[in-house]
Chain A
Amino acid sequence: MRVFITGIGAVSSIGINVSENFESLKAKKSGVEKMRFVETIHSDEIPAAEIKLSDKQIFEILALEKSGFYTRTALIAMLAAKEAFENSGIKISSDFKTGLISSTTVAGMGKSEIFYDKYINTDFSNGFIKTHEASDSTEKIADFLNIKDYISTISTACSSSANAIMQGARMIKHGILDRAIVGGADSLSKFTINGFNTLMILDRNQCTPFDADRKGLNLGEGAAFLVLESEESVLKNGSKILAEIKGYSNTNDAYHQTASSPDGYGPYLAMKFAMEMANLNPQDIDYVNVHGTGTPNNDLSEGLALKRFFGEKIPKFSSTKAYTGHTLAASGALEAVYSVLAIQNNVIFPNLFFKNAIPELNYSPETNFIENFQVNNVLSNSFGFGGNDSSLIFSKV
């Protein structure tokens, strides 16, 4: 059974829809800046990739009722899911089982952290108590798009939405669903910024993935969704196929709660199994959208895993996180959307701000925006805390 991508939607610091994202990628325009929306004492020293819209502006774009309680995570999730849904042209009907599998790590923390003190120490109460849970943004999308057949939410740290894509594809293959809207969303919060700050892995300037002098990552916020359909659903709908999901794999590094193993064994296994499933050889991969967070640990470990997997012939690769920051749960789906764009447009995106190769690796990422490059197969990696490693393979149809 084949699973096709027929719709994409994305909102990030470099654009509030897919075409804006694509234009920024072409123009080498990074979304990393001084923070404007999150109120934190770190805003002068730590840059981040915020979506350039206030909650109120997103509210208005979505034409939501004023009385509802919407977290920023839910708002950006709805915006991206709506775009993917409309892009696919599918309609909800009882003839097709349609599911929604979303993902998030921060969930409603952006609001909880504002009200927490008042919740605990006073009688104060509001509707954001109920939006704290990870299921909230998923149910907001489900109710907005009228999806009822199956809904779920995944949280596997920074690999969350890659896993949502995998899960949607599996449920279609098992015949449990005919279509799945899959992806994830994470907004920035003080909690996340301070958490990553204590780990001392935040770059004080623009991050430089895969560079010898990389200092750490930039946090970002974003949401991205894809519509997956079975062959039968595609045929009956006449949906336009954007790409096919040929391979996926989920493994665990089982090395450390937050750090990657020095040799990148988990990442290596994820790529290996995804490739085996896709029935492709390493030389069939035209582009790798690496996880490439910009931390010393991730990039070295992922780099060594790439070397082990591809040998001397490493395909063109880049991290797009210098554009978008690390959008955590959303990153896998956001980069899946970018992978689909690479396939659709025969382009490869540059790895911004790269200067020198990591000494242990004798190769460099792509630094130019390349056009007219035949892109048939893309490998996309997402790794996370808890040792979670996921690889996805997207192919031209």
Chain B
Amino acid sequence: MNVFINGASCISPQNSINYDEFCNEIVVHETLFLESINPEYKEFIKPIDSRRMSKTVKNGIIASNYALREAETEMPDAIIVGTGLGVVSDTEKFLEKMIENNEQFLTPTSFIQSTHNTVAGQIALGLKCHNYNFTYVHGGFSFESAVIDAVMHINEGKKNILVGAADEMTQNYYKIIKKTGNWKTEIIKNTDLFKYQTTGALCGEGVSFFVLSSQKNQNTFCILSGTQTIYKPKNSDEIQIRINEFLSHRNLQVSDIDMVILGVSGDYEQDKIYYEVQNSLFMSKYVTYYKHLSGDFHTSTSFAMWFAANAIKHNKTPDFVSLLNLKPSKIKNVLIYNHYFENNHSLFLLTEA
């Protein structure tokens, strides 16, 4: 059964609320990690509610509303969210108060908001949606698990599934994770990310929502032809085998792919896998990167999927996503390959509807 993407919305460090604006100009950041450009909240969220909600919850409400509106869906049959870390800011708020006040004089608001399923719960609350409600929290498989679940729902006969991802980064949490050596420790310009040969990925954040549907409509972006997770593959040879299998299960070959989106993160060491795969499989392909735009985070593939869906629908991509301009005349099949620190690898295939 075909799974159509009928709505797609993204809040990111770029002007991604509107795809044309996104293509017009890259937003330059010169910060330790990339922060999202937040939209106006007034239209969807009352100021009184807005004050106690973290930006990720708010962005989740906004992005899901946009995606539903685009898909002309009022009540989704399921709400499924992937998040690597949940609402970090509220978790920190409660934790810091608890440590500072030695477990005394605490208030519940930030604790309530800190649970991983806050975004999915708040969307359900806003829509008064009693249907299936799920939150996946598995690192670089969080969004992938949500999409796999959503596709199962379509195959079970459901019509419209709201599926998305939400992750945020904070100053304090970055201070901590920076110590692992996985992330950039110096301020760089995102537009120069691929010029540096340093270790550490450029961190980012973002919220994206999609409506996956069993029926095509006038707003359809494309077909979601497949999603797969690969846990700790041995080496890039295994990844190449898995990519070829993934395509051949869908009666395709690498030659049928018009555009490849790779999760190159700016980490000289971690990116070697991408270059190996790129050199053996995609030498003559239109290969694009996205993490200088969104930054790297657990659910960054949701940004890549938003980009891929729009690239197919509008048959248009900005020049700043590719180092070599081999843009095809028509973008029909897009393959996304990403890995999160070599543990969680994933593939997505999107096809013209």
Contact with A along B95-137 (1 / 0, CB 8 A): 1101100111011100111111110111011011111111111
CB contact list, A104-134 vs B, under 8 A: 104-105, 107, 112-113, 116-117, 119-120, 125, 129-130, 133-134
The interface residues of chain B lying within 8 Å CB-to-CB of A41 are 102-104
> Once A and B bind, how many residue pairs between them come within 8 Å at the CB atom?
179
Residues of B within 8 A of A171 (CB): 152
* Contact A252-B117, Cβ < 8 Å, known A116-B95, A154-B137, A191-B94: no
Which residues of A are found within 8 Å of B124, using beta-carbon distances? Answer: 252, 254, 386-387
Residue from B103, B107, B125, B155 in contact with A174 in the complex, judged by beta carbons closer than 8 Å: B155
User: Given A195-B111, A252-B124, A252-B129, is A134 in contact with B116 using a C-beta cutoff of 8 Å?
Assistant: yes
For residue B103, which residue of chain A has the nearest CB?
Answer: A41
Assess whether A265 is in contact with B231, with CB atoms less than 8 Å apart: no
Which residues of B sit under 8 angstroms from A251, Cβ to Cβ?
Answer: 130-133
B136 — which chain A residues lie within 8 A by C-beta? 152-155
Residues of B within 8 A of A142 (CB): 231
The smallest C-beta distance from A232 to any residue of chain B, in angstroms, reads 19
Contact indicator B139/A156 (Cβ below 8 Å): no
Contact A195 B137 (CB under 8 A): no
Chain A residues near B262: list those with CB within 8 A. none
Q: Which of B117, B128, B344 contacts A386 (CB 8 A)?
A: B117
Question: A155 near B99 (CB under 8 angstroms)?
Answer: no
Q: Is B60 close to A, CB under 8 A? A: no
Among B111, B134, B137, B156, the most chain A Cβ lie within 10 Å of the Cβ of: B137
The minimal Cβ–Cβ distance linking B17 to chain A, given in whole angstroms, is 26
**Does A368 sit within 8 A of B, measured CB to CB?**
no
Taking the closest CB of chain B, its distance from the CB of A42, in whole angstroms, is: 7
Partner of B95, one of A150, A191, A250, A254: A191
- Give bound CA distance, A119 to B175, whole Å: 8
Find out whether the CB atom of B138 lies under 8 angstroms from the CB atom of A129. no
Residue numbers in B under 8 Å from A385 (CB-CB):
112, 115, 117, 121
A contact residues around B79 at 8 Å (CB) = 252
The reply on B284 being an interface residue by CB < 8 A is no
B111 and A199 within 8 A (CB)? yes
B180 beta carbon closer than 8 Å to chain A: yes
Within 8 A of B (CB), among A150-197: 150-157, 163, 167, 170-171, 174, 176, 190-191, 194-195, 197
Q: Which residue of B lies closest to A104 (CB)?
A: B137
Task: Provide the residues of chain B in CB contact with A176, threshold 8 Å.
Answer: 148, 152
Residues in B whose Cβ lies below 8 Å from that of A130: 180
Question: Across the interface, which residues of B come within 8 angstroms of A250, CB to CB?
Answer: 132-134
Residue A260 at the chain B interface, CB threshold 8 Å: no
0/1 interface trace, chain B 223-253, chain A, CB 8 Å (1 if under): 0000001011000000000000000000000
The distance from the CB of B255 to the nearest CB of chain A, in whole angstroms, is 28
- Among A154, A199, A254: residue with most chain B CB under 10 A: A254
Whether the pair B116, A105 counts as a contact (CB closer than 8 A) is yes
- Does B215 belong to the interface (CB within 8 Å)? no
Residue with the greatest number of chain B CB neighbours at <10 A, chosen from A148, A194, A255: A194
Q: Is B283 an interface position by the 8 A CB rule?
A: no
B98 touches A386 (CB 8 A): no
- Quote the shortest CB–CB distance from A117 to chain B (angstroms): 6
A206 CB-CB contact with B under 8 Å: no
Decide if B125 touches A105 in the complex (CB within 8 Å): no
Complex: chain A residue closest to B155, CB-CB: A174
B220 at the interface (CB under 8 A from A): no
Q: Which residues of A contact B145 (CB under 8 A)?
A: 152-153
Inter-subunit contact B95/A252 (CB<8 Å): no
Q: Within the complex, which residue of A112, A170, A254 is in contact with B129, where a contact is CB–CB below 8 Å? A: A254
The verdict on A152 contacting B98 (CB below 8 Å), with A40-B103, A41-B103, A257-B121 known, is no
Q: Beyond A191-B95, A252-B130, is A170–B176 a contact (Cβ under 8 Å)?
A: no
Assess whether B103 is in contact with A190, with CB atoms less than 8 Å apart: yes
Q: Residue-by-residue, is A258-269 near B (CB-CB < 8 Å gives 1, otherwise 0)?
A: 100000011001
Q: Distance (Å) between the CB of B65 and the closest chain A CB?
A: 16
Chain B residues near A21 (CB-CB < 8 A):
none
Which residues of A sit under 8 angstroms from B48, Cβ to Cβ? Answer: none
Which residue from chain B places its CB closest to the CB of A153 in the assembled complex? B138
A71 to B127, CA, bound (A): 37
Contacting residues, chain B, for A139 (C-beta < 8 A)? 139, 343
Inter-subunit contact B106/A198 (CB<8 Å): yes
B117 touches A155 (CB 8 A): yes
Residues of B within 8 A of A138 (CB): 138
Say yes or no: A387 contacts B108, CB within 8 Å: no
Chain A residues near B114 (CB-CB < 8 A): 195
- Tell me how far the C-beta of B128 lies from the nearest C-beta in chain A, rounded to whole angstroms: 5
Answer yes or no: A388 CB below 8 A from chain B CBs: yes
- Since A134-B116, A152-B138 are in contact, a sample of 10 more A-B pairs with Cβ atoms closer than 8 Å, ordered by chain A residue number, is A112-B95, A113-B98, A117-B99, A125-B179, A129-B176, A133-B85, A191-B95, A253-B130, A387-B133, A388-B121
Give 10 nearest A-B pairs by CB, closest first: A386-B121, A155-B116, A135-B139, A195-B111, A134-B137, A153-B138, A198-B108, A125-B179, A252-B133, A386-B117
18 interchain pairs (CB within 8 A)? A116-B99, A120-B175, A125-B179, A133-B84, A135-B344, A152-B229, A154-B136, A156-B133, A157-B117, A194-B106, A199-B112, A252-B129, A254-B125, A254-B129, A254-B130, A384-B117, A386-B115, A386-B122
Residues of chain B having any CB pair with chain A under 8 Å: 79, 84-86, 94-96, 98-99, 102-104, 106-108, 111-118, 120-122, 124-125, 127-139, 141-142, 145, 148-149, 152, 155-156, 172, 175-177, 179-180, 229, 231-232, 343-344
